[in-house]
Amino acid sequence: MSLTLHFHPLSSFCWKVLIALYENDVAFTANSVNLGDATERAALLRLWPIGKFPVLRDDAREQTVPESSIIIEYLDTHYPGRTRLIPADPDLALQARLRDRFYDLYVHLPMQKIMGDRLRADDKRDPHGVEEARAQLKTSYQMIEQQMAAGTWAIGEAFGIADCAALPALFYANMVEPFGDVNKNVTGYFERLTVRPSVARVMKEAEPYFNMVPKEGG
């Protein structure tokens, strides 16, 4: 099999790529990487010295592709399927890329700040940073609430790269800063995402690892 995805089943950015792969039934080998294992970590570093996943290796084209958004663009170009993840229209494509970055930078990253703080020792916690991250999430929810007032998916009626980014970001963000009753459009969008077959498959495969997610006060 030409494609190998180096990933971790709980990694939100890996979920993003898995959704894209499953959405178009792209054949690939999944290689789950334990960064705590020196051998596995060294193998990942040889592929991508930054040492973060996901990383896609395409042996047929002799390409190593890091970073979730770039991987999805690569798949859309070289392994297209029934769902075009980047719109053909250049203006819509720009909007899709912008919304993808929005979910990565303004939902995903503040969520990770809060989750990461839970793993710190009590004397290493960053309450100010966590408060800033919560404020960012609340602002992002307000923006999504307006964005999703009309339309099924992030860019109108076509599922795409921004929706791949939205699900993992919103799934974990809701754990650290719940949507609340005021964000009904956000909740509705999230619920539509969770029942899409490609998304439901990713979440089902991750279920056995959910006990590893850091809890508040943990």
Domain layout of the chain by residue ranges: 3-78, 90-210
pLDDT of residue 216: 67
pLDDT of residue 212: 75
Stated pTM of the model: 0.93
Q: At what angle do helices 161-176 and 127-147 cross, to 10 degrees?
A: 130
Q: Residues of the chain whose pLDDT is less than 70?
A: 1, 216-218
- Domain covering 3-78 in this structure, CATH number: 3.40.30.10
pLDDT of residue 64: 97
pLDDT of residue 119: 76
pLDDT of residue 184: 96
pLDDT of residue 127: 87
pLDDT of residue 150: 85
Tokens of 189: 């969008």
Q: Are 66 and 55 in contact (CB under 8 A)?
A: yes
Q: CA dihedral in degrees (108, 102, 34, 216; nearest 10)?
A: 0
pLDDT of residue 217: 53
3-state secondary structure of 39: helix
In angstroms, the CA 195 to CA 198 distance is 8
pLDDT of residue 218: 46
Specify the CATH class of 90-210 in words. mainly alpha
